[in-house]
Structure 1
Amino acid sequence: MLELSPANVAAVEAFCRKLGWIAPDESIEGLEPAGEGNMNRTLRARLAKRTLILKQSVPFVAKYPQIPAPENRIATEDLFYSTLAADGSLSMRMPSRIGFDASHRLLALEDMGTEGDFQHLYRDGFAELNGRGLFTALIYWLWRLHALQGIDAAAFTNREMRALNHQHIFVIPLMSGNGASIAPGLESIAAQFAADEGLRNIASQLGDIYLGKAAHASRPCLLHGDYYPGSWLHHDRIGVAIIDPEFAFVGPPEFDVGVMLAHLTFTGFSQQDLMTSLRSYVTPPGFDYGLAIRFAAIEIIRRLLGVAQLPLEANAEQRIAWLNTARTMIGT
C-alpha cells in the first residue's frame, strides 16, 4: 500500500497522476503537514500552480499512535463529501472531493487554505464568531445538515468509529487512573467524578443513545460527529469552512448540537448565551434540548478529564468551575 509521507513524493506523485488527480504535465513539488491531522495522515501537496489535500487513514490515531483506530474510516468521510455535494448550502462550506482510492485508503480534496482552524477561540474568546457573522453560518450549516432527507442510514452506521469515540467520550474520562494527561490541580475533582456512580450511570445512558442502543425522541439525522473549532477552518472567501467528518453517522441531532455548545462554553459563552444561540437552529422533529445539554456536559468532562485535551489556557480554578457546571448540566 502507498504510504502517504513527506519523504515519499515520487511515489505519491505517480499515484496521483495515475488516478487523474494531477495532470500529466503537473508535478508535486513537496508534501507537508496540513494542520494537526488528529485522526489521519493529512498532507498538503504543492504543485506549481495549485495545492491539494491528501488524507490517508491508518490503523491508529495519527496524533496518538498508541490508540488503535478503524483503518477504513476514510471511506465514511468520502461518503459524507459525496452525499453533501448536491446541496449547495452545505457543500459551499466544505472542500470539493477530487477523488478516492479505497484500496490505499487515500482521499484527495480541494485545499481550503492555510489560515488554520478556530481553536484559537479557546484563547481569544468567541467575539470573532459574532462580529463576523460566523456563528450564524455555523448554526445554519448544522441545521441544513440535520434537515437532509433520504439519507441511507445503513451506509452511515460507522460503528467502529462510534465504538472508539464512545470509549473516549462516555467511559474513559470517568475511569479512575485513566492515564489521561489532565491539567495540574484537577486530580481531586477527577477522583470525585470517577467515584460518582450517578454521574457514570448518566454517562452510560448517553453512551447507549450515541451508539444507537437506546431510543431517543428526535428524528435520526446525518451528523458531522465532531462539530467543534478544530473542524472549522478560516477561509478568506466564505469566512468558515467545515472539514473532518470521519465520525459522521445517522443518529441523534442533539449530539452535534451538544458538542458545539460544550466548545462554545470553553470560548466564554455563558449558559444564557448558549440557550439564546439555539434560537437560530431549526430543530428536527422531537428535538430534546435537555438531551443536547447533557451531551454538552459530557463533552466538557471528556475534554478536561479525558485523553483528547484541548489547547486551553485556563487555570485549574476555571477548569474546576467548568466541571462543576457540567455536573449541574448533566443533572447530578
Structure 2
Amino acid sequence: MSSFEATNTKSSMIDLNEHSSLHLVQSLPIWQENEKLESIASAGESNMNLVLRVKTNLRSVILKQSKPFVRKFPQIPAPIDRIEIELCYYQLIEDDEILSSFSPRPLNYNAEHHILLIEDLGNGTDFSAMYGQDYTWDSSDFNALSQYLNALHELQVSNFPDNLEMKKLNHEHLFQFPFEEENGFDLDSIQPGLQGLSLAYKRDLDLKSALEALGKRYLSQGTILLHGDFHPSSWLKTENGVKFIDTEFAFMGDCEFDLGVLFAHFDLAQQDTSCQSNFLKLYRHSYSEKLVDAYRGMEIMRRLIGIAQLPLSLTLEEKKSLLEKARLLILSQ
C-alpha cells in the first residue's frame, strides 16, 4: 500500500480548473515541505475529471479532481467520490509486479477537495488513432493489453468497494439512454440519417428485454476486479511502454465485461477479426463466449447511438451493419 497518508481539511472544497492560479493550487494541503509550484497546464482531454499537469521545483505530477458532474457533459450528475475508487484501485495493485508496472503510482489524496495526485507518466498519447484508417498494431502494444487483463482478472481481491453509484451512472448510458426513443439527443447532429436509423433498435422489444437482463447482471456484484472502462482512451502510450489509466469505473464483476468492451472497439475501429482471436490466444482466464458477445454488442450500440460518441469515420451504411451485428450479439446470450 502507499506510504502517503490521505490529507483532509475543514475548509470547503476548492473548485479548480485549467486557469486556476499557482497561488490557489499552492494553498492546497497536498504538497511536500519546501515544494514550490512553477506551472499548471491541462494534461489532455478527460471525460470524467479535471486533469492537470503540475510542475514544481521538485517534480512533475498529475492532479485529478472529481466534480459532482461529468466533466465532458456537465448536465450529467456523477458521484464526486469516484476519485477515491481510482485511488483504491491503484493502492490495491501496487504490490502486483505486472499491474503496477502498467499503472501510475498514487502520490497523495485529499478527500476534502476530491483531489488525487498521481505519477506523471510523461507526454503520452492515447490509442484513439486505432479508429483511423489502416491502423496497425505494434506487437508489444497489443501484447500489453493481454498482459494487463490477464494479471488484473487473476488478482485475488476480497475488499474492493462496490462502486455502485458509478455503476448506476454507467448503467444508464450503457443499457438505457441510447435505447430511449425520446431521450433529447439528436443523432442527426452527429451524422444525418443516424436518428432514423436508430429508431428500429429503440423500438425493438426483444432487444430491450435482453439489454434489461444484461444490465441487471452488470449491476450485480461479481468476483473479478475489472478496469471497467477498457477502451483506447484509457490506454496511454508512453516512453516507458503502455500504461492503463482512468480506473474510476473499476468494479467487481464479469471478466466478460472488460473483454466485450475491448472487442467492441476492435469492431468500431474496423480492425481485422484476427485481433480478437489473437487476443484470446493470449488470454488465460475462463470466460463465456456468449456473455462476451452480449457485452460487446451493447458497447457497439451505445457508442453508435448513445451520447458517448467516438472519433469514427464510418458511413451510415457501415454503422447500420455494425448495429445489426451488435443486435444479434446481444440476442445470442
Provide the TM-score with structure 1 as the length reference: 0.90
Structure 2 residue 228 is matched with structure 1 residue 225: yes
- Tell me if structure 2 keeps the 8 A contact 1:60–1:69: yes
Alignment equivalent of 1:31, drawn from 32, 40, 46:
40
Q: Amino acid of the residue matched to residue 42 of structure 1? A: V
Please state if 1:168 is matched with 2:173.
yes
Q: Within 2, Cα distance between the matches of 1:85 and 1:178?
A: 41
Worse overlay, 269-278 or 311-320: 269-278
Matches within 5 A, 1:134-153: 134-152=141-159
Residue identity matched to 2:49: N
Instruction: Give the match for residue 13 of structure 1.
Output: 26
Query: C-alpha distance in 2, partners of 1:12/1:264?
Result: 40
Matches of 1:275 and 1:326 in 2, distance apart?
18
Deviations 1:10-47 (A, max 9, x none): 121232xx43x3440x3222221112111011111122
Take 1:22 and 1:34, find their aligned partners in 2: how far apart are those partners?
A: 21
- RMSD of aligned Cα (Å): 1.7
Quote the offset at 1:126 in angstroms. 4.3
Shift of 1:277: 2.4
Aligned-pair identity (%): 37
Q: Residue 272 of structure 1: CA displacement?
A: 5.2
Distance in 1, matches of 2:105 and 2:236, equals: 14
Q: Cα gap change, 1:54/1:172 in structure 2, threshold over 3 Å: closer, same or farther?
A: same
CA distance in 2, matches of 1:66, 1:282: 41
**Structure 2 residue ranges without an equivalent (≥5):** 1-12
> Following superposition, which runs of at least 4 residues in structure 1 exceed 6 angstroms of deviation?
none
Tell me which residue corresponds to 1:330. 330
CA distance in 2, matches of 1:80, 1:230: 18
CA shift in 2, pair 1:268/1:49, >3 Å: farther
Note if contact 1:261-1:274 (Cα within 8 Å) is conserved in structure 2: yes
Q: Which letter maps to 2:323?
A: L
Distance in 1 (CA, whole Å) between partners of 2:128 and 2:227 is 18
Partner of 2:244: 242
The one-letter amino acid paired with 1:134 is D
CA distance in 2 between counterparts of 1:3 and 1:29 reads: 20
**Residue in 2 aligned with 1:199?**
207
Shift of the 253–105 alpha-carbon distance from structure 1 to 2, 3 Å rule, reads same
Query: Are positions 1:4 and 2:16 aligned together?
Result: yes
1:112 equivalent to 2:159? Answer no
Which secondary structure state, in structure 2, belongs to the residue aligned with residue 317 of structure 1? helix
Measured in 1, the distance between the counterparts of 2:210 and 2:198 equals 16
CA distance 1:78–1:311, change in 2 (3 Å): same
TM, length-normalised to structure 2:
0.90
Match for residue 58 of structure 1 among 67, 72, 82:
67
Secondary structure in 1 matching 2:298: helix
1:31-79: CA deviations, max 9, x gaps?
Answer: 2111211101111112246321001111000110000001111110100
Distance in 2 (CA, whole Å) between partners of 1:169 and 1:195 is: 17
- 2:254 paired residue number: 252
Q: Does 1:289 align with 2:292?
A: no
Cα distance in 2 for partners of 1:306, 1:125 equals 26
Instruction: Give per-residue Cα distances to partners, 1:145-164, cap 9 Å, x unaligned.
Output: 01001331xx4200000000
What secondary structure, in the 3-state scheme, does the structure 2 residue paired with 1:45 have? strand
Aligned equivalents of 1:324, 1:11: Cα separation in 2: 52
Deviations 1:209-246 (A, max 9, x none): 10008xxxxx72001100000000111122x1100000
Residue by residue, what CA displacement relative to the aligned partner does 1:229-281 show, whole Å, maximum 9, x if unpaired? 0000111122x110000000101111011001111112222445423421211
Q: Which amino acid aligns with 1:66?
A: Q
Aligned: 1:180 with 2:185: yes
Check 1:309–1:94 CA distance in 2 against 1; reply closer, same or farther (3 A cut).
same
Distance 2:85 2:251 in 1: 9
1:80-159 equivalences under 5 Å are 80-127=89-136, 129=137, 131-152=138-159, 155-159=160-164
Supply the distance in 2 between the matched residues of 1:277 and 1:234 (Cα, whole angstroms): 19
Runs of 5+ unmatched residues, structure 1? 214-218
**How many residues matched?**
316
Quick one: distance in 2 between partners of 1:185 and 1:48? 54
Among 265, 268, 273, the residue aligned to 2:267: 265
- In the alignment, the residues of structure 2 paired with residue 319 and residue 48 of structure 1 have an alpha-carbon distance, to the nearest angstrom, of 50
Q: Which segment drifts farther, 268-277 or 256-265?
A: 268-277
